[in-house]
């Protein structure tokens, strides 16, 4: 606070920033179809918001003992974080209690940094505390670094849509019990072993992260085989962004069911067949969004090895 009792311009800007970010917690953010890097950066909003809250608390308690500022920051960040998640839960937005932890990290970090900056003699204990919190915040960014690496690999590997060279490649997929396994095909060293569960109406695995612009190519190639000698009916569903943000009707996507037999099955799907699949429009081949493999009402759990997925001209 200034000596004449007026509020400094810096405080106004701080309050406006806090309120602006606070509002963002309750408006539409990333969706299930948003880029994963964007989603992960969005999660950092809690660290930034509570770092500003910690700064605000410091400005109003720095004349008091340090323990009072630290304790106030911890309690306010914890309480406010829980309130935000509770409101989000009640307005049908996803509540993530990991965000409360991120908020505490952000508030604690700014409080420690500001105390360190204020002190004329540097405290080793304070420096150690800043280093520990910095490491914890850095660990929260691990998934961002992994996602960036995967996105770069997606662009580098195209027209291969999915490779199975590294454990992190599984993060491009969603489904039950996904593991990397020694490939059953001679065309690749490893493959994706996917589980299709019994007694479920639909059991599926989905390739969610791949290069989405298929223009200029003619065919989609998929190499897969059952883990045992028994045939299995496997359906392939391909959708674009228009379908996935809309009503997601059956007639608005590509669907094809194939009888997968013993040994390697090489499936070739012409892209013009995929493009013409929706009844009332053409599928946007520059915005293909998901490739899903699913089974229907199995009596036993079954496993499929997916060896390769790529495009050809």
pLDDT tens across 125-164, in order?
Answer: 888 999 999 999 998 888 889 999 999 999 999 999 998 8
Categorize the per-residue pLDDT at 2 as very low, low, confident or very high, splitting at 50, 70 and 90: very low
What is the tens place of the pLDDT at every residue in 259-269? 999 888 999 99
CB count, 10 Å around CB of 166? 13
CATH code for the structural domain at 158-312: 2.60.120.430
| CATH 2.60.120.430 location in the chain | 158-312
pLDDT at 288: 95
As to burial, measured by CB atoms within 10 angstroms (0-12 exposed, 13-18 middle, 19+ buried), residue 304 is buried
What average pLDDT does range 114-123 have in this prediction? 76
Burial bucket for residue 130 (CB in 10 Å: 0-12, 13-18, 19+): middle
pLDDT tens sequence across 20-56: 888 887 776 666 777 788 778 787 888 999 999 999 9
DSSP string, 243-310: HHTTT--GGGSEEEEEEE-SS-EEEEEEHHHHHT-SSSS---TTSEEEEEEEEESBSS-EEEEEEEEE
């Amino acid at each position: 606070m200034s000596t004449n009792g007026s509020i400094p311009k810096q405080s106004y800007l701080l309050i406006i920033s806090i309120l602006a970010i606070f509002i963002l917690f309750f408006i539409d953010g990333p969706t299930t179809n948003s880029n994963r890097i964007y989603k992960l950066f969005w999660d950092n909003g809690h660290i930034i918001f509570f770092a500003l809250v910690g700064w605000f608390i410091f400005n109003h308690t720095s004349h008091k003992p340090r323990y009072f500022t630290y304790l106030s920051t911890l309690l306010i960040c914890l309480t406010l974080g829980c309130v935000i998640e509770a409101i989000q839960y009640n307005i049908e937005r996803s509540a993530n209690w990991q965000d409360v932890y991120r908020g505490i990290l952000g508030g604690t970090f700014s409080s420690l940094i500001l105390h360190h900056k204020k002190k004329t003699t540097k405290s080793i204990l304070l420096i150690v505390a800043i280093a520990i919190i910095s490491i914890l915040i850095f660990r929260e960014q691990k998934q961002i670094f992994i996602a960036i690496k995967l996105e770069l690999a997606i662009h580098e590997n195209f027209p291969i849509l999915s490779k199975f060279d590294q454990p992190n490649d599984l993060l491009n997929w969603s489904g039950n019990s996904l593991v990397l396994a020694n490939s059953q095909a001679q065309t690749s060293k490893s493959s994706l072993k996917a589980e299709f569960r019994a007694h479920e109406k639909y059991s599926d695995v989905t390739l969610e992260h791949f290069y989405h612009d298929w223009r200029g190519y003619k065919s989609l190639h998929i190499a897969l085989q059952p883990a045992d000698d028994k045939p299995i009916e496997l359906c392939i569903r391909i959708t674009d962004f228009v379908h996935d943000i809309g009503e997601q009707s059956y007639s608005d996507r590509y669907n094809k069911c194939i009888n997968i037999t013993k040994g390697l099955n090489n499936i070739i799907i012409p892209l013009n067949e995929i493009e013409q699949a929706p009844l009332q429009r053409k599928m946007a081949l520059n915005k293909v969004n998901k490739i899903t493999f699913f089974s229907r009402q199995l009596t036993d759990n079954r496993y499929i090895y997916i060896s390769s997925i790529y495009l050809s001209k």
